[in-house]
Structure 1
Amino acid sequence: MKARLKKWRLFAVLAVLGLILSGCGEPFLSALDPAGEVAQTQFDLMILSTAIMVLVILVVVVVYVVAIFRFRRKKGDEDKIPKQVEGSHKLELLWTIIPIILLLILAVPTVSATFKLADNKGLNDKDGKGNPKAVVVNVRANLYWWEFEYPNQKIITSQDLVVPTDEKVYFRVKASDVKHSFWVPAAGGKMDANVDNVNTFWLEFDGKKAKEAGNLFYGKCAELCGPSHALMDFKVKAIPKDEFNQWVKDMQAAKVTTPSDPVAAQGQEIFKQKCLSCHAVTPQDNRPEQARTAPNLANFGERSRIAGVLDHNKEELKNWIRDPEKYKPGNKMTGAYGQLTEDQIDKLATYLMTLKVQD
């Protein structure tokens, strides 16, 4: 008996801990604080389905409790048989019609939202001059980094996705190696990134929510893809349309220049020898996808994270260059550039931190 009580106590403790831990996490990684039309629609459906489930549970519990107390065996009534309702047409109709009504209440908005969120007709819209109207981003997932190509603007970036607020942004999602999944919790549900086909969907980022979040949202890979799956993060910079247009112009005008700092200039030479075969340092990368085997570093100095997970500073960059395997096991950069001396690492890090498109 005591052993059973100990097991139940342990179960109760674990249940309470699970409840507490379910409330942990970061607000920018929560789907419970929607920051866009898609996320809001999905959140409303979740609340609706939860309310229906809670209602059903409450009704069942009430009926159960009433049955226990009202029809429990009483002293002197051991041989009394309660009124039998088996075959009651009224009850049969009641518990058949009510579930149908509840299903309709849930199904109608769900089906409506499904068709609405799957409508990608605006992806190919053009203005009177024949220019594309919509912002389209080709997302390519890799082990363990993200590439974002803007085909209409002819620019490419990596790890930090930049989008305008308060308008639909269309995404074409695919993978280059294994299956991944593109997910921005605050903006909407995930979309699988497959090797053999392209999935298309859209998101909209609310300008007010973006401002409250410092114009920065977090994205993740939501499909187990390897030992560093949990570290396959990216950042979403959601900015007003005019700022986005300026960013595009700056990216389109970016050129390779020699740094004025002599240490950074030496780092540039090291980069050309060791890194340029995989990485690009201009947003206008015309190489085919198969040749783009590493993140584009054109605006590396402006990013919010190194490798998606480390603080953006020179020391962390040097740590990453020194031993990528320590921070992202299974990544393809490990050992790809050969052994570098500490002096070379310092010069290379100095150069990479100067790669900026906007001041």
Structure 2
Amino acid sequence: MVRRRYHQLEITGVRLGVCACTLSLLVLFLLCPWSLEAEPDGYDLLLKATQALREGDLDRALHLYQQVPPPQEGQEGGAFVRSRMEAARIFFSRQEFESSASMCREVLEVFPDNLEAKNLLRQAEVSQIPQWLRFLKDMKTYLPTLLKASGMTLILVLITMIVSPTAGLFIALGRISRMKMLSAIFWFYIWIFRGTPLLLQLFFIYYGLPQLGLTLSPFTAAILGLGLNYSAYLAEIIRGAIESIDAGQMEAAKAIGMSYWQAMRRIIVPQTYKRLVPPVGNEFIALIKDTALVSTIAMVELMRAADQIFNATFNIFVLMQAAIIYLVLTSIFTVTFRKIEDRLGVYENR
């Protein structure tokens, strides 16, 4: 009897113990539900963040990206790296450069050799520099290259300034010649080169002539294209200046025994200088800017150099520096021609 009672008490104790344990686990579950939750899966969070990004909810996507835990020892960190880099790119696009840099640093703490994080971190740090300081830094870096290229621009301008007025004078004289055939030929020349874009002419000279058996270097093609185009414009300017001289000047020259060409050389043409300086000066100032077109035929001058640097760096300050150099060059030529005009007395009151 005693042994039976003892056995019953033992069974009852076991039951009470099991009930107490179950009750303890239930209380623990109710009071601390987090203790039974599994650690969030990185790829699951990454998937949810990507879905939020597709829906346009950037804030939720950023929150989810930042919830992806760093990898533990022995684990691969693909989800962590991708989530942090996606967050860094979003912050960068929103111009929150400090947050973008912070995401990159988290990646580099775990994976110090990650090139993507290094590059984006560098861009984010540079973007935090004040604009004026970035401009000065970029100027120090790229200005020597641009100045060297602007030397080629000046060479193109100076050679064209010699070739085009000389050719333009002969074309103008041929245009006003009494020989109808000669006048018609030069009229056709002027009509072609004034009526078609300079860019198209450069393309034809550099890319078209080789198909006809004549291959030119970029420099030769640039000089030829600029010279032919500007000689046509200057020919019309010179012709207008010559025809503005009183016809009695030619008659007087012939009366004292001068030939037509002597009268032109000694009497008529010298009187056109004052009238020619303003419009010719404007053409040469336009020429400085038109030299940028020769960059399309592989001619490395100022615009070509700036374009190459910009395509490699996407740095808009490079183009600003090129614009400043063009502005300085045109200003120098403007002041120079103004001095020449004043010297010749173009605007003197009479």
Q: Same fold per TM (> 0.5)?
A: no
**Alignment TM-score, normalising by the size of structure 2:** 0.19
Q: Per residue, is there more helix in 1 or in 2?
A: 2
Instruction: Using CA pairs under 8 Å that are at least 6 residues apart, name the structure with larger relative contact order, 1 or 2.
Output: 1
**Alignment TM-score, normalising by the size of structure 1:** 0.19
Q: Per residue, is there more strand in 1 or in 2?
A: 1
User: Rg: which structure is higher?
Assistant: 2
